[in-house]
Amino acid sequence: MGKLAFVFPGQGSQSVGMGKDLADQYPEVMNYFQKADEKLEYPLSNLIFNGPKEELTQTFNTQPALLTTSIAILSYFQKSGIQPDYVAGHSLGEYTALVAAGVLSFEDGVYAVRKRGEFMENAVPNGQGSMAAVLGLDREPLFQITNEVTESGFPVSLANLNCPGQIVISGSKKGVELAGVKAKEAGAKRVLPLEVSGPFHSPLMQPAADKLLHVLDGIELKDAKVPVVINVTAEPVSSATEIKEKLIEQLYSPVLWEDSVKTMISLGVDTFIEIGPGKVLSGLIKKIDKTVKVFSVSDQESSLTVLEALKEEKQ
């Protein structure tokens, strides 16, 4: 068996009731939800388990909710003793990966992403920024298009390079619209506007990055116990100092997810386990490389299925 990577989902994977079945059965899992409530001085667990959905999808709620649920699920799964060789997460999921790698304490992670969500929400006045998924166009022509549109006075840039033929662009509302039109003219199959509250992972997030730096200055970051393949460079990093720099850059830089997965594969990873709600990353990884094994763990049943599959491979 080759190497193993744990990957953690970002915004868009949340759903009302996530993690509840495990929390109801296992006090040690519920403990994470309670710790999050205490740290944020707010009943986040009630919002996660019972909704309403509209409130859960607000960025400053979604981020701590996903980190809490993913780490709670991880705590159950890791009772099996399985350890990863690498960890990574998509955007917000990078913070979950850092908690998993011992860089951030759980409480500091929850606090940091709550603040990160608030700063992202407030960085650009509502309705002035947007994001769209461009399907069926390579990164080079799309990069040229976003540069042209930006030079014409309407900032837009590549935000998430998810998998071949799926790239998210982000920027000013007009910039995203113009780039979408040009992308279709250049052969993109579809351009889908995303329901988000701001132009994430674009230079317009610089004000949020400046504020986030103050928050991270007040938190202890340790060197990673397991290398973290980070969004900004798609390279494994263990140094706390470097991780902190990259977390700030991550807010206004593209998420190099496709490259990150390819890096892990080049380092010998042949098994990916997505830990947390949903299967978004599992789907992307399969599109990046069909030869690797991909599993997702979101509850007790999926956890047992994955453990069984890994046991069989070892035999």
CATH architecture for the domain at 3-123+204-314: 3-Layer(aba) Sandwich (3.40)
Residue 232: CB partners within 8 Å, gap ≥ 6?
Answer: 246, 249, 250, 253, 256
Give me the pLDDT at residue 196, please: 83
Task: Check residue 195 and give its pLDDT.
Answer: 84
Predicted local distance difference test score (pLDDT) of residue 312: 86
Mind listing the pLDDT tens digit for each residue in 77-119?
A: 999 999 999 999 999 999 999 999 999 999 999 999 999 999 9
Domain map (residue ranges) of the chain: 3-123+204-314, 129-196
Mean pLDDT of the chain: 96
Q: Average pLDDT, stretch 220-224?
A: 98
CATH code of the domain occupying 129-196: 3.30.70.250
pLDDT of amino acid 197 = 78
Residue 314 has pLDDT above 80, yes or no: no
Asked if pLDDT for residue 126 goes beyond 90, the answer is no
* 166 secondary structure, DSSP code: E
Query: 190-200: per-residue pLDDT in tens?
Result: 999 998 878 99
**Average pLDDT, integer, range 56-71:** 96
Structure tokens at 195: 């329901």
Positions marked active-site? 91, 201
Distance CA 212, CA 202 (A): 15
Strands of the sheet with 129-135, listed across from one edge: 156-163, 166-172, 129-135, 190-193
Once rounded to an integer, what is the mean pLDDT over residues 204-214? 96
